[in-house]
Structure 1
Amino acid sequence: MLPSFAFKWMKQAGHIRKSGLPNRRAQDGEKREWLCWDCEQLFNSFETPFATKIFHPYDLDRSVRVRHGEWMAKFCASVAWRSLSVLQEDGKFELLTEEQAALGERALETWSRFLLGRYKHAGEFELHIITFGEIESTSLSVSTPNINRYLTRAIDMDLASNSSTCFSYSKLGPFAIFGFVQSHPGQWRGTKIPNGAGWFQPHTITVPKQL
């Protein structure tokens, strides 16, 4: 369900392996037959500029500076929508509070209407993005030996929540997209995707310590 260009990129450097079957090579990412041909083309209109102008250039040069249009927010919304839809279909909403599950339904509807041009923005269901690089040094005890490989190469999705916060997490190599379902992400600075034009470039960000 996540964009195919990310899996093609992963295969260029090795093989795709899924967490449930780590010793078996996979040919591609998971697919679900949800989208009609028109919707596939609509999603491609956001994926292509993100892949060609941001994803692949950033993979080669971490200092890349790119001017983007509304397609950036639409791409992030499409990824958040797909991830949250998969997580809902797989029963993850059962782990949420009743309020969070209802907000999850609203987030899906809002992102869908934004993608179709019926809404001008994602409203309260904000979209945020951060980029990862390798950890060169840390004062913390890191128990995962392959953490740098995960941060820079892995493709992943999940649903994170506690009693007051809920968001989807979609990871495409060094990029992580967060779709907020509950709670205003006030502690997050420099990560929110603008609704229209903006710059993708190196800058300082702030995220909660718990992340």
Structure 2
Amino acid sequence: MVEGECKLCGEHRELKLSHFIPKFVGKWVKDSSATGYIRLNQNINKRAQDIAKDYWLCGECEQLFSGWEREFANKIFYPFVKNETDSAFYGEWLAKFCASLSWRTLSYMRSMNPRSDKVVDEKEKVVLRGLASFLLGKTSNLGIFEQHFYPLDAIDSASVGVGLPENINRYLLRSMHMDVLVGDGQVMVYTKLPKFILLGLSNHSESKQMRSSRVSIREGKLFPQSYYWPKGFAEYMFGKAREISQLYRKINPNQQAVIEKTLTKNPERAAASETIAAFQHDLEMFGRAAFSPSNPDDSA
């Protein structure tokens, strides 16, 4: 048993093992991969069975998160990743789920990279307090802490693909990623799930242009429409996709042999996997250039 202060409510209680990106997301990535494993970006030369987790939340707060996760998984995540639909109605739970993701991402990134800049540190603390207050039901809305949610689909047009990284579809459809961007008095919390992007924004200057992606506090509908990216965000995202490609170039020969052996041992699994399906989209876009190392398993 692990006891300590819950990072959300602040109470000293028994702590539960909590995933930073929801467990069901990592399980889907692993189960639908070509090899049945995932590789974490922090240690690309080692297979992993699970994604990052730690003793952060008490039982009550973990239950809060689990309820919102269950709604998202059943009503949005699985229907979208299985290509059963491209639209869905949602209730108050989506704003809570998104806020919980942004809270986890910001908390995790701060734990991995403590802030030396006091101004940045204080801005992030303000965001965390605002998110926590909303999640715990102390406030009824997020105020300036907006949540913007983007369903993603494959890119298949060569004309659109000019200048894109050769693994863009594998990144959009398969990768998991967390990051925090701070600048010009603004905080942007980036959480990447397979086929979805969540941007948690604080006092963002382009908020008005981004209304189509903003998650309603009460209820709303996700459906195919035109979305607005903050200036510079697309280039940032493409850079992250290229980083993954470069990371896989560093995989050692022994691990490359392990991957090839696994694929050869069960070619039917590989052929039917979402990993290969995402790769096919890149192959249609970029031809042989798509074979540059990227996501032979799946990265997180």
TM-score w.r.t. structure 2 length? 0.65
- C-alpha distance in 2 between matches for 1:63 and 1:76: 20
- Would the aligned equivalents of 1:104 and 1:181 in 2 still touch at CA under 8 Å? no
- C-alpha distance in 1 between matches for 2:177 and 2:114: 15
Residue ranges of structure 1 left out of the alignment (5+ in a row): none
Give the match for residue 176 of structure 1: 197
Residue 25 of structure 2 is aligned to residue 3 of structure 1 = no
Task: Give the 3 Å change call, closer, same or farther, for CA 92–192 of structure 1 in structure 2.
Answer: farther
* Residue-by-residue CA offset, 1:172-192 (whole Å, 9 max, x unaligned): 111111111343433323111
Bigger radius of gyration among the two? 2
Give the match for residue 65 of structure 1: 87
1:1-211 superposed matches below 5 A: 1-14=20-33, 15-61=37-83, 63-91=85-113, 93-94=115-116, 98-137=118-157, 138=160, 140-142=162-164, 144-184=165-205, 185-211=207-233
What SS class does the counterpart of residue 171 from structure 1 fall into? strand
- C-alpha distance in 2 between matches for 1:210 and 1:62: 32
What SS class does the counterpart of residue 230 from structure 2 fall into? coil
State the 1:54 CA deviation: 0.2
What SS class does the counterpart of residue 45 from structure 1 fall into? helix
- Would the aligned equivalents of 2:155 and 2:161 in 1 still touch at CA under 8 Å? no
* Residue-by-residue CA offset, 1:126-173 (whole Å, 9 max, x unaligned): 11111222221225322x322210111101101123334321100111
Task: Give the 3 Å change call, closer, same or farther, for CA 65–132 of structure 1 in structure 2.
Answer: closer
- C-alpha distance in 2 between matches for 1:33 and 1:61: 34
The alignment's C-alpha RMSD in Å is: 1.7
Identity score, percent:
35
State the 1:61 CA deviation: 2.3
Runs of 4+ in structure 1 deviating by more than 4 angstroms, as ranges, are: none
What SS class does the counterpart of residue 51 from structure 2 fall into? coil
- C-alpha distance in 2 between matches for 1:189 and 1:207: 11
Query: Greater shift after overlay, 170-179 or 53-62?
Result: 53-62
- Give the length in aligned residue pairs: 208
State the 1:28 CA deviation: 0.5
State the 1:102 CA deviation: 1.4
